[in-house]
């Protein structure tokens, strides 16, 4: 994959950074650089005030818009989180995980905020490899939703940030491809939705980075715009996340507090997205 060409924000687009008020931005302008000279503390403060951390990236003073606010984006990671946390409801508190969505993770001169990310409570704090200045450990499981963000951009984020050494174990990417407004005779949106799963232990590591261990189409059309029905009911299209990845680095494991994989039904995510279309 080639790197995306980064566009420079015009005066109106820059207001998302200078005035912290979101303006309409053409998704075809992404990735869009808002500024080249931001300080890390300034980025953290402004991204929290503007609630924009999920949509901005910070690298060496550059603040770049990589995703735009959209209901599809929000319901996708909300539904993923709801399903992921469900199996932990009956576990002891020390066997649970914290959802750190909305938390900025920092590494050197880079900072990112995940759509959803989960940290086992068992992980030691302060961590020998912290994700922030407070000594918190990196999440073991990360979910990123790419709606207006390109596949090239999100794969780059996975490889250059989340899957660097001593960070996440699994990264789940939900790619919501552009929709042209067409529907089936039954009124169902004809849209491609793809889930990519990266796993540090199992993914092939090429010169270009980690490759997904699986790619699941969970929409109603494929890459050639042909109708598919492999995800037309609950239980038909699931993603399995191993306890070995969830509890990676935790003292006293294995055995793992969860005996079964965490199962994510992608049909439920599909339906949540379709309800917003």
Helix (H), strand (E) at residue 175:
strand 170-176
**How far, CA to CA in Å, does 83 sit from each of 11, 39, 132, 267?**
41, 37, 27, 12
**Is the domain of 155 the same as that of 77?**
yes
**Is the domain of 132 the same as that of 200?**
yes
Is 113 within 8 Å of 131 (Cβ atoms)?
no
**Is the domain of 87 the same as that of 147?**
yes
**Is the domain of 158 the same as that of 28?**
no
The total domain count for the chain is 2
- Per the structure, the complete domain to which residue 37 belongs is given by 1-68
Q: What is the pLDDT along the chain (277 residues), one digit of tens a residue?
A: 556 899 999 999 999 999 998 878 999 999 999 999 999 999 999 999 999 999 999 999 999 999 999 999 999 999 999 999 999 999 999 999 999 998 999 999 999 999 999 999 999 999 999 999 999 999 999 999 999 999 999 999 999 999 999 999 999 999 999 999 999 999 999 999 999 999 998 888 877 789 999 999 999 999 999 999 999 999 999 999 999 999 999 999 999 999 999 999 999 999 999 999 9
């Amino acid at each position: 994959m080639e790197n995306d060409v980064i566009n420079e924000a015009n005066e109106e687009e820059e207001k998302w950074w200078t005035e912290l008020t979101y303006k309409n931005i053409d998704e075809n302008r992404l990735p869009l650089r808002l500024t080249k000279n931001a300080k890390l503390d300034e980025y953290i403060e402004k991204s929290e005030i503007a609630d924009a951390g999920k949509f901005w990236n910070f690298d060496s003073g550059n603040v770049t818009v990589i995703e735009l606010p959209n209901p599809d984006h929000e319901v996708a990671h909300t539904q993923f989180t709801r399903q992921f946390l469900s199996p932990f409801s009956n576990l002891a508190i020390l066997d649970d995980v914290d959802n750190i969505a909305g938390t900025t993770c920092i590494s050197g001169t880079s900072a990112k905020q995940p759509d959803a990310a989960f940290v086992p409570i068992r992980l030691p704090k302060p961590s020998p490899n912290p994700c922030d200045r407070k000594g918190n450990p990196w999440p073991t499981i990360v979910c990123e939703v790419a709606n207006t963000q390109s596949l090239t951009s999100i794969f780059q984020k996975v490889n250059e940030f989340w899957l660097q050494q001593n960070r996440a174990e699994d990264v789940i990417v939900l790619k919501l491809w552009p929709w042209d407004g067409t529907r089936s005779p039954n009124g169902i949106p004809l849209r491609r939705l793809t889930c990519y799963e990266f796993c540090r232990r199992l993914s092939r590591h090429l010169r270009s980075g980690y490759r997904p261990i699986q790619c699941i189409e969970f929409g109603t059309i494929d890459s050639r715009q042909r109708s598919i029905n492999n995800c037309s009911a609950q239980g038909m299209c699931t993603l399995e996340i191993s306890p070995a990845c969830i509890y990676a680095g935790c003292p006293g494991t294995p055995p793992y507090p969860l005996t079964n994989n965490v199962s994510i039904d992608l049909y439920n995510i599909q339906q949540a997205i379709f309800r917003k279309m």
